Amino acid sequence: MRLNLRNCILTEEFDYGSLKQTLSAYKNPRVKINDLLKKGHIIRVKKGLYVFGPELARGPYVKESLANLIYGPSYISLEYALYFYGLIPERVETVTSVTDKRKKLFNTPVGNFSYRYIHPSLYPHGVTLYKMDQYHSILLASREKAICDMLYFSDDMADEAQIEAYFLRDLRMELAQLRRLNIREVRRLSRLYGHNARVFRGFLEKVK
């Protein structure tokens, strides 16, 4: 059965439908699934979503793909996206995402996943489909959108000096990284995102 599972399910992450179909030869697939869970061959991330346990795993599961699957629609953004792009130095353990549904936090056996609510009118702008490998493509904020999302959930910034302190001192981003942002995209998003994004746009135009 171990070989059959791994021949039928190619990724480390899979849903209940895939698992049930693979175990369809069993009279009661649910009983077999419970047995696999009890033995640690598979791990339940949340209801209907699983990863392989250490004995069956062929490689690491993709946390970013799980983030998209655990709660949606959603895309990875905020601190985790900044870390993913190498814009901030500190490692971010919780995978942070944005959704146009209610905010949620999931503490799972494979890590923590948080979701912040954003207005549906802002949700689709700047979301990219990022190819991790041949099996995984994830919904991810662009660099510019991830920054605008950070500003969206921050207190109002009084001026460009406060913006500069926020990014260079608090988040420890480098000015050279900010200068590499797409200024046209920042201008476009700033028209949608409001005050903080507009202040950031002004700061970026000065340092470009």
Is residue 21 located within the same domain as residue 81?
A: no
Name which residue leads in pLDDT, 5 or 63: 63
Proportion of the chain above pLDDT 70, given as a percent: 99
- The Cα-based distances of 67 to 64, 73, 102, 137, 138 in angstroms read 5, 10, 15, 12, 9
Q: Residue 27: pLDDT band by 50, 70, 90 thresholds?
A: confident
| Over residues 17-24, mean pLDDT | 92
Is residue 78 located within the same domain as residue 163?
A: yes
Is residue 118 located within the same domain as residue 201?
A: yes
The tally of domains found in the chain comes to 2
Output the six-digit token pair for 154: 């921050």
The pLDDT mean for the chain works out to 95
Report the candidate in 175, 202, 172 with the shortest Cα–Cα distance to residue 186.
202
| pLDDT higher than threshold 70 for residue 16 | yes
Is residue 69 located within the same domain as residue 44?
A: no
In a domain, 59, yes or no: no
Output the six-digit token pair for 165: 């302190």
85, 146 in Cβ contact below 8 A? yes
| Over residues 96-123, mean pLDDT | 98
Is residue 131 located within the same domain as residue 203?
A: yes
| Over residues 121-146, mean pLDDT | 97
Is residue 151 located within the same domain as residue 106?
A: yes
pLDDT value at position 71? 98
* Rounded-to-integer distance, Cα 65 and Cα 200, Å: 30
Is residue 70 located within the same domain as residue 41?
A: no
pLDDT value at position 39? 95
pTM metric for this prediction:
0.93
Is residue 126 located within the same domain as residue 199?
A: yes
* Rounded-to-integer distance, Cα 110 and Cα 176, Å: 35
* Rounded-to-integer distance, Cα 128 and Cα 142, Å: 6
In a domain, 140, yes or no: yes
3 state DSSP class of 120: coil
The whole domain housing 14 covers: 2-52
Is residue 38 located within the same domain as residue 73?
A: no
The Cα angle at residue 33 between residues 28 and 35, in degrees rounded to 5: 100
Burial class (CB in 10 A: 0-12, 13-18, 19+), 207: exposed
112, 66 in Cβ contact below 8 A? no
In a domain, 34, yes or no: yes
* Rounded-to-integer distance, Cα 156 and Cα 199, Å: 10
In a domain, 22, yes or no: yes
Q: Is 169 left (phi over 0), alpha (psi -120 to 50) or beta?
A: alpha
Q: Residue 208: pLDDT band by 50, 70, 90 thresholds?
A: confident
* Rounded-to-integer distance, Cα 153 and Cα 78, Å: 9
pLDDT value at position 5? 87
Is residue 77 located within the same domain as residue 158?
A: yes
Per-residue pLDDT tens over the stretch 45-64 = 999 999 999 999 999 999 99
| pLDDT higher than threshold 60 for residue 3 | no
pLDDT value at position 132? 96
| Over residues 103-117, mean pLDDT | 98
